[in-house]
Amino acid sequence: MKYLMLSAAATFLIAANAAEPAATALVSVDVAKEIGPVKLMNAVNNGPVAARSDQSRGNFADFRALRVPYARTHDSINQATSNGHTVDISAVFPDFSADENDPANYDFVYTDAFLKTIVAAGTKPFFRLGQTIENGIKKYHVFPPADFAKWARICEHVILHCNEGWCGGHRWGIEYWEIWNEADAQPDERRAESCQWQGTKAEFFAFYETVAKHLKGRFPELKIGGPALGFRMDWAEEFVKWQRERGTPIDFFSWHVYSGGVPRLESQSRDVRRILDENGYSTAESILDEWNYIKNWTTDFPYSARAISTHEGGAFTAAFLCAAQNSPVDMLMYYDARPATVFNGLFDFYTFAPLPAYYALFSWADLRELGMQVEARVESAGSKGGSSVRAVAAKDANGALGVMIVRYCDNRNVTASETVTLRLASGRFSGRVRGYVTDENHLHSPVHLFPSDDRTATFTLAPNAFIYIEMTVEGRQAGATGSPQ
- Element housing 91 (H / E): helix 89-92
Indicate the residue among 370, 391, 422 that finishes a domain.
Answer: 370
Residues 13 and 111 in one domain: no
What is the Cα gyration radius of the chain? 23
Domain ends where: 336, 352, 370?
Answer: 370
Per the domain annotation, does 479 fall within a domain? no
Whether residue 466 lies inside any domain: the answer is yes
pTM attached to this predicted model? 0.91
H or E stretch covering 315: helix 311-325
Look up residue 9 and give its DSSP letter: B
What's residue 339's pLDDT? 85
430 domain residue, yes or no: yes
Same domain, 316 and 426: no
Same domain, 357 and 377: no
| CB crowding 38-57: b at 16 or more within 10 Å, else e | bbbbbbbbbbbbbeeeeeee
Task: Mark whether 116 and 13 lie in a shared domain.
Answer: no
Q: CATH number for the domain including 53?
A: 3.20.20.80
Q: Dihedral (C-alpha) 231, 237, 242, 247: value to the nearest 10 degrees? A: 100
200 in the same domain as 187: yes
Task: Tell me the residue range of the domain where 427 lies.
Answer: 4-37+371-474
392 is a domain residue: yes
Query: Which helix (H) or strand (E) covers residue 45, if one does?
Result: strand 40-45
If asked whether residues 244 and 100 sit together in one domain, one would say yes
Domain of residue 434, CATH code: 2.60.40.1180
pLDDT, tens digit only, all 485 positions of the chain: 333 434 334 444 433 333 444 578 999 999 999 999 999 999 999 999 886 655 567 899 999 999 999 999 998 876 655 567 889 999 999 999 999 999 999 999 999 999 999 999 999 999 999 998 878 888 888 889 999 999 999 999 999 999 999 999 999 999 999 999 999 876 554 555 678 888 889 999 999 999 999 999 999 999 999 999 998 999 999 999 999 999 999 999 999 999 988 989 999 999 999 999 999 999 999 999 999 999 888 888 888 999 999 999 999 999 999 999 999 999 999 999 998 788 999 999 889 999 999 999 999 999 999 999 999 999 876 555 556 899 999 999 999 999 999 999 876 777 788 899 999 998 888 878 999 999 999 999 999 898 887 789 999 999 999 999 999 988 767 776 654 33
pLDDT attached to residue 3: 37
On whether both 33 and 58 belong to a single domain, the answer is no
Structural domain contains residue 379: yes
Question: Beta strand 387-395 with 372-381: parallel, antiparallel or unpaired?
Answer: antiparallel
| 362 and 444 part of one domain | no
Pair (401, 340) in one structural domain: no
Task: Give yes or no: residues 33 and 44 share one domain.
Answer: no
Instruction: Let me know whether 417 and 298 are in one domain.
Output: no
Q: Answer whether 257's CB lies under 8 Å from 291's CB.
A: yes
Number of separate domains in the chain: 2
Residue 329 covered by a domain: yes
- Among the candidates 355, 370, 385, a domain finishes at 370
Q: Are 442 and 11 in contact (CB under 8 A)?
A: no
Whether residue 204 lies inside any domain: the answer is: yes
Domain presence at residue 481 = no
Residue type, 123: T
Pick from 342, 330, 333, 337: which is nearest to 297 by CA? 342
User: Do residue 383 and residue 281 come from a single domain?
Assistant: no
Which 3 state secondary structure label does DSSP give 228?
Answer: strand
